[in-house]
Amino acid sequence: MKIALAQQNYHIGNFDSNVKKMIDAITQARNEGADLVVFSELCICGYPPRDFLEFSDFINQCYKAIDTIRGHADDIGVLVGAPARNADSQGKDLFNAVFLLYEKEIKGEVHKTLLPTYDVFDEGRYFEPAYSWNVLEFKGKKLAVTICEDIWNMGSNPLYRTTPMEELIKFAPDVMINLSASPYNYAQDIVRNSIVKAHTLKYNLPMLYCNTVGSQTEIVFDGGSLVYNNAGNKVGELKYFEEDFKVFDLNELVNKQAVGLQDVKVYYAASDVGADKNVLEYLADEKSIEEIHAALILGIKDYFSKMGFTKAIIGSSGGIDSSVTIALAVEALGKDNVRAVLMPSQYSTSHSVSDAEQLSKNLENPYDIIAIKNIYETFLTELNPIFKDLPFSVAEENIQSRTRGNLLMAIANKFGYILLNTSNKSELATGYGTLYGDMAGGLGVLGDVYKTQVYALAKFINRDREIIPEHILTKAPSAELRPDQKDSDSLPEYDELDTILFKYIEERQGPKELIAQGFDEKLVNRILRMVNLNEYKRNQFCPIIRVSYKAFGVGRRIPIVAKYLS
């Protein structure tokens, strides 16, 4: 039996586009002699559909799409993911399901057992877990079909009480097939390979794993679909961050001599991958930075294309964050579609302006210069009766930032641009930003990237030629909102800050654990207090492209009105 994996980029709720992609892949699979073509989890509607699942019309369109595809599944089998209605009045109204289509009929239906309800996932909100298990019989073979999380219940501390493959193995299947929508983070490919390998060794069966690719607002899916034989050897891996298609012969995946599972290092979670590594080295790992670069490019590109926008606007300060954001946007959207706006004040240094100009000259993208001194002083004049003779403070600093935000949004509104935000994760974590000022934007490009990683990204962008001027990489970072200001005036040095932030945010280590590792007690308490006090700012922030396994946004839910560590 020949099985095709169709790794595709879907658009949530765009049924016509999704169905066309799948029909094209079915045709390709048939032409290449495949007996069965496998798509990804909830491919019919796109993942994650979230509260669209609460609309009957949305579910009706899913079933209509299945009927359309069924008409093309005549002499070839098709496995598609879609929501399925629960005929039992008890429990949730829907299952997360896979349909086997063949001979223009629905030949079988499989339901997802393990419904992740953590981080960016909220499937328990919508779906009923499977309560019965069966293999799908197709052309004389028994297919053990699972859906994404169903294969992740491994290790010494499993999250669920039921493991679907333990039920399916009782039917003596010939092959394992997993339809997945597994989001990217910079450790996920290692964990994903580990999980699939461990399954093939444990059950002595080959596995074909089809993942989706593409970006859905903040979540990036990296593809990287996998095929392992029954001996735990990888025999196929589809491309990362782009669509791909490949046919595999099941006969070539079986009857291999397996090694023992006890001899294999298995990573069961992303947090395991960097657990024994130096944080700064781990964050700036060359392979991870290359992946993050690709993920951010895809995140920008899909956000614009799926929203129907073509042009971006970015505030260009001559600093590292805006420079990296502009370079990424130019690569994703094209140089003519990225407009940079330089907005110097009386506190801006001359080299900040020249650095920003040089960046746009290197990238050949359009840019404008709008000095904000007069606007800023007008604000101060009008506020003087209220401010009186009170000393210069963060209020005056924020007026400058909000003036820039106003200018950017005015241009964006006038010409139909999307404002890309340039705040990095270190700044967002500590509240080092101004609401409605430099925190304005439609999409946060670097909001899940620590300052350490921003510098590493800049070096990667400059790998072939100098795009980001060297002076931007070497000068001390500054918001330039008052004379001789430096980030270090308000924040700890970034190497120490990022290390503590990573351990607290990603690894969820508390103050006692951090202090026990040798970090200064006052510094730890100060940083953690900043993180928790500024939840209200992050709650009002735009969507952030997710590249870590614990990003700000939908995957990190912290109360605003709380006292813990604040």
Residues at the binding site for deamido-NAD(+) are 398, 427, 537
Contact assessment for residue 171 and residue 134, using Cβ atoms and an 8 Å cutoff: yes
| 239 counts as catalytic | no
For residue 460, count other CB atoms closer than 10 A to its CB.
18
Q: Looking at 21, 41, 149, 451, which residue is catalytic? A: 41
DSSP-derived pairing of the beta strands 443-444 and 418-421:
parallel
Q: Which helix (H) or strand (E) segment is 236 a member of?
A: strand 234-237
Paired with 98 in beta bridges are 81, 110
For residue 291, count other CB atoms closer than 10 A to its CB.
22
Phi-psi region of 184 (alpha: psi -120 to 50; beta: other; left: phi over 0): beta
The C-alpha atoms of residue 515 and residue 481 are separated, in whole angstroms, by: 33
Contact assessment for residue 144 and residue 177, using Cβ atoms and an 8 Å cutoff: yes
The C-alpha atoms of residue 293 and residue 445 are separated, in whole angstroms, by: 11
Strands (E) located in 343-479:
367-369, 418-421, 443-444
Q: Looking at 43, 148, 210, 542, which residue is catalytic? A: 148
| 62 counts as catalytic | no
Residue labelled with tokens 């066309």: 20
Residue 390 is classified by DSSP as P
For every residue of 121-157, DSSP letters joined together read: --GGGTBPPP----PEEETTEEEEEEEGGGG---SSS
Q: Looking at 21, 112, 197, 550, which residue is catalytic? A: 112
Contacts 24+ apart (CB under 8 A), 66-73: 66/99, 66/101, 66/106, 68/19, 68/23, 69/19, 69/22, 69/23, 69/26, 69/44, 69/101, 70/101, 70/104, 70/105, 70/106, 71/104, 72/23, 72/26, 72/27, 73/26, 73/101, 73/102, 73/103, 73/104
Indicate the annotated binding residues for L-glutamine: 118, 182
| 256 counts as catalytic | no
- Would you state the structure tokens that stand for residue 175, as one six-digit string? 């092959």
Contact assessment for residue 561 and residue 532, using Cβ atoms and an 8 Å cutoff: no
> 3-class DSSP state for residue 261?
helix
- Which of 385, 349, 383, 362 has the alpha carbon at shortest distance from 476? 349
CA 48 from centre of chain:
12
> Which active-site residues does the annotation give?
41, 112, 148
